[in-house]
Chains A and B, each alone.
Chain A
C-alpha cells in the first residue's frame, strides 16, 4: 500500500526548472532514498512535499488527502515530519524544549488555561516533558537535556533533529542528508538507527543522502534525480548498474570508454 504519491510535480525558479515532472510512490513502512548529484533538485523536492514551496504543476498525495496548497504546519499536522540539510534547531533553548516543540501539535493548552495554570494544563505540560525525555533517551541524548541545543556536537544536533521530528509522531519521516558531516563510525550507527526506527515506530522513511554505502545498505527503493528530472528508479542493485546513473555521477566518458 502506498502512503505518499507524488505525480508529475514541477517547480520552476525563474528560468531554472528545479524539479521537472517527477513521479514517486512510497510504500508504507519502506525506506526510500532520493539520490542525485549536487543541484539535482532533491531538497527542492522535499520542500515541495512539506509545503515550504508550492508546486507549479502536479500533485502530492499523503494517503487519501492532497497536500497541494496546504501550509507547512498543516502538512505537519497530517503526519509528515522532516529534518533539514543545514540543521535547523531552536539553538538558544534547551535540548528538551526542542523536542517538546515537536509535541506541540498534540498539546491542547490555550491562553486561559495557561494563565490560570489549570490542573489539566500542568498535567499536560508534565507529560510532555516526560515524553520528550523519552525521545531523548531513544536517540541517546538524555544526559544533555538541559543544555542549549547550539552547544551540542554536530552529530548530536542531527540526532536531536530526528528526536524532534519523531516526537511529532509522523507517519512519514523525511531525512535530508542525515549522514552529512559524519565520520564512518557515526554513519554506521546512523544506518542501524534508521533501521531500528522504522521497525520500532512503524514509520515510513524517505531520505536524501550522498553516502552511497549507507544508501545501498539501507534503502529498499531508490530514486535518482538529475537536473530536476527523474533519471532512474528501482532497487539498489538495479541502480548500481544503471548506465544513466553512472553517467550522471561520473560523466559520459565513464560509460563509453574512448
Chain B
C-alpha cells in the first residue's frame, strides 16, 4: 500500500486515470444497480479523492464541476430513488453553505456562536412570508403571494436581511467573550425562534406555530422549480459563490484581521485593527450565507415553521465545523457532507436494515435498544471517535505558503523605493 502511494505521488497522469476509472466504476454501478446507496456514496467520495490529487487547482474545479453538474444527476436519474438522492445532495449543499458561514464566525474569527440557525430561520421566513398570502395580513399595499419569479431577488434580500440581523445581534452580544458569548448567542438563537413562534398576534406576521404553508416555488420564464433534482442546481450555484467568497475572504486583509482577533485581541487592537467592526463583519458575512440558504430551504420545503430551527440544528452545524476542522474550508465542506449523509442516509439505512433483521426474527432487540432509538447513540459514538483520533478535524486548517523567491525580488524593489524616497528628501533639504 505504501509503495503504491509513493508511486502515485508526483505521477499526475496516473492520478487522473485512477480518478476517472473510479468515477466510471462507481457511476456505472449506480447506473446499473439502481437504488444502491453505497454506489451513490462512493461516487460522492470521488470528490474527496479529487481533493487529494496533485492536479492544478483550476483542473480540479473543472473536474468537480463535471462530476457535480453532469455525472451525478445523470447516472442517478435512471433509478427509482433519483429524487431521494437529489434530495440528499441538495440538503448536503444547504448545510455545507451554512457550515461555511459558521466557519467564518467560529473558525476564523474565533467567536463561539451557538445560535447560528437563527439566521437560517430569518432567511426562510423572509421568503416564506412574502411568497405566501401571509404578507397580506400586515402589508398595506401589494398583492401577495408574490410570484415565484421574485425568488431570485429574495436570495439577495435574504442575504442582506440575515446580514443585518447578524450586525444587530452582534452589537449587544459582542460585549462578552468566550463562554459567555456562547451562552448569549444560544439565548439569541432561541429568542428568534420563540419570536417567530409567537408573532401571530397582535399582528399576524409569521402565523405562529401553524407555520407558513404552500410557499410559492421558484419560477423562471414560466419554468417552475418543484423537484429536488431542480433545486439541486440552484443550491449548487449558490454554493459555488459561497465557496469562492469564503476562499477570497480567508486569504485577504479581512480574513487576516479575523485570525488576528482570534489569536490575540489585545495585540490585534494595538496593530490598529478595529475590534468591533472586525467581529461584526464576521457575524454579518457568516449570517448572510445562512440567510441565502434559508430562502432556498423555504422554497424547497414549501413550508416554514419554527420547529425547523431548534437549538439542535445550531449544534449540528457547529459539529460539522468542528468535525471537519475549524477554519479549514475543505474540512468544513467534508464535515458538513459527512454529517448530513450520516443522518439522512447511512444511519437510516442501518436502522432499516436492523429493523428488517429483527422483523425476520434473525436477531431480537429489547425494547429499550430498538434500532430507531440507537440512531442518535451511533451518531454520538462516531463523533466521540473522531474527537479522539482527529482532534484537529478531518482536514485540519492549513496556512498559506508564500513563495520566498518572488518576495525576495519584490522586497528588493521595496528597499530601492525606500532609499529613493529618502534621497529625494535629502535633495529637497
Contact = CB atoms under 8 A, between A and B. Distances in A.
Interface in A61-105: 71-73, 76-77, 81-82, 84, 88-94, 96-97, 100-102, 104-105
Interface in A90-138: 90-94, 96-97, 100-102, 104-105, 107, 109, 111, 114-115, 117, 121, 125-131, 133-134, 137
A101 B256 contact: yes
Interface residues of A, number: 48
A93 B410 contact: no
B410 A52 contact: no
Contact of B257 (A77, A101, A143): A101
Contact of B410 (A97, A133, A142, A143): A133
A73 B260 CA distance: 13
Contacts of A97: 256, 259, 399-400
A101 B271 contact: yes
B76 to A, nearest CB: 33
A50 B206 CA distance: 49
B252 interface: yes
B259 to A, nearest CB: 5
A145 interface: yes
A52 B266 contact: yes
B68 to A, nearest CB: 23
A38 interface: no
A114 B411 contact: no
A146 interface: yes
B267 A133 contact: no
B248 interface: yes
A4 to B, nearest CB: 16
Interface residues on B, range: 35 or more
Query: Which of B260, B271, B285, B400 is the most central at the interface, judged by chain A CB atoms within 10 Å of its CB?
Result: B271
A92 B264 contact: no
A126 B252 CA distance: 11
B402 A168 contact: no
28 contacts: A52-B269, A52-B270, A73-B269, A76-B270, A81-B270, A88-B264, A89-B263, A90-B263, A92-B259, A93-B256, A93-B260, A94-B399, A94-B400, A97-B399, A101-B257, A102-B271, A104-B273, A105-B271, A111-B254, A111-B281, A125-B252, A125-B253, A127-B414, A129-B402, A131-B411, A131-B414, A142-B408, A146-B401
Closest A-B pairs by Cβ, 4 of them = A130-B410, A105-B272, A90-B263, A76-B272
Interface of B: 245, 248-249, 252-254, 256-257, 259-260, 263-264, 266-275, 281, 285, 399-402, 404, 407-408, 410-411, 413-415
